[in-house]
Amino acid sequence: MGRVLWSLRVLGAGRRPADNPHSLLQHDLLLKHWSRLGQLSAAGWDSVYPADLSALDGLERSMQGLRGAREDVALGPCFKCVLSMRAFAVDAMPTCLGIVEFKRTGQSWSPVDAGRSQDIEKTAQGEAELQVALNAASLAESAERCTACGWPPGVLIGGDADSVRAALTKGYSCSPAFRERMRPLFSRGNVWIHATRIPGKINVADGPSRHRAPTQAEIEGSCECLNAAYAALLREAMERGRSVFSRGSRREGKDEGRAEGRHTEA
């Protein structure tokens, strides 16, 4: 089991959380066996059935068939990706989801409208917070992939649920209920998500999740949080672009040096 988990960790390093065959999100059977063996072993390994060990052996063989290449490692979205991303503020109550979409003018975001509400069957607070974020992310799936770097369309999502933000960032959660909700969107790989924190007291989506209009303080606070996160994404994309260009220039210089050396020897 340790070898299997280590293989997935190594092969999955550096890849996008979405559309990643090495992600533990795609290996729920492995996690279920891990949990079962952990529970049984507490009472003594004699309680572990041969069928469990055989299943783990089959999983390890399937892991050995997974291969990773340097080209698979994601460098991150380019500047064009960040410029074309959409943004949302989200919040939820156990029986209602709230989403507020934002529009960009220059490098600043502002709400498109007062947002929209969606009544749902009563569910756990954390799962409702995750579901509304996934619903917002799915709204960006229909856009085309970036013609410059091939990344899927991006979406900036602000909310006040820390566990949800962590799950969206990692593309994984230790909660089986979270994994079940995340798997469809992340398996399709049609969107990349950057989740940022908007404190509950200034979250503009708090209004529609409670069937009320947002306050001016919530609008201004949410804009400030999204603007800060977006500015950081732009800086990272610019730095990444300069770094890639610099490596390419050094590589070209080395190639030219080798060519000149061969020419001199000839």
Do the beta carbons of residue 161 and residue 126 sit within 8 Å?
Answer: yes
Q: Does the model's pTM come out above 0.85?
A: no
Question: Cα 138 vs. chain centroid, distance in angstroms?
Answer: 12
User: What does the longest C-alpha to C-alpha distance in the chain come to?
Assistant: 80
pLDDT for position 107: 85
pLDDT tens per residue, range 1-46 = 566 665 665 556 556 676 666 676 767 766 776 666 666 665 555 5
| Number of neighbours of residue 85 by Cβ within 10 angstroms | 20
User: Measuring CA to CA, how many Å separate 170 from each of 14, 23, 26, 54?
Assistant: 11, 9, 13, 30
| 199-255 confidence digits (pLDDT tens) | 999 999 999 999 999 999 999 999 999 999 999 999 999 988 876 555 455 555 555
Of 93-97, 116-120, 231-235, 243-247, the poorest mean pLDDT is in: 243-247
The SS3 assignment for 132 reads helix
**DSSP code of residue 53:** H
Return the pLDDT at 117.
96
- Strands 116-119 vs 86-93: parallel, antiparallel or unpaired: unpaired
**What residue ranges in the chain does DSSP mark as E strands?**
86-93, 96-105, 108-111, 116-119, 154-159, 192-197
Name the pLDDT band for 171 (thresholds 50, 70, 90): confident
Asked whether the beta carbons of 172 and 25 are under 8 A apart, the reply is: yes
Q: What is the DSSP letter of 164?
A: H
**CATH architecture of the domain with residue range 83-240:** 2-Layer Sandwich (3.30)
| 8 A C-beta contact, residue 199 and residue 161 | no
Query: What whole-number distance in Å separates Cα of residue 171 and Cα of residue 201?
Result: 27
Share of the chain above pLDDT 90, in %: 51
Per domain, the residue ranges of the chain are 2-72, 83-240
pLDDT at 4 (0 to 100): 62
Spatial neighbors of 222 by CB under 8 A, at least 6 apart, are: 89, 100, 102, 111, 158, 198, 202, 203, 204, 205
Is residue 68 packed enough to be buried (19+ CB in 10 Å), middle (13-18) or exposed (0-12)? middle
Give the whole-angstrom CA distance, residue 3 versus residue 172.
20
pLDDT at 25: 72
User: How far does Cα 261 stand from its chain's mean position?
Assistant: 47
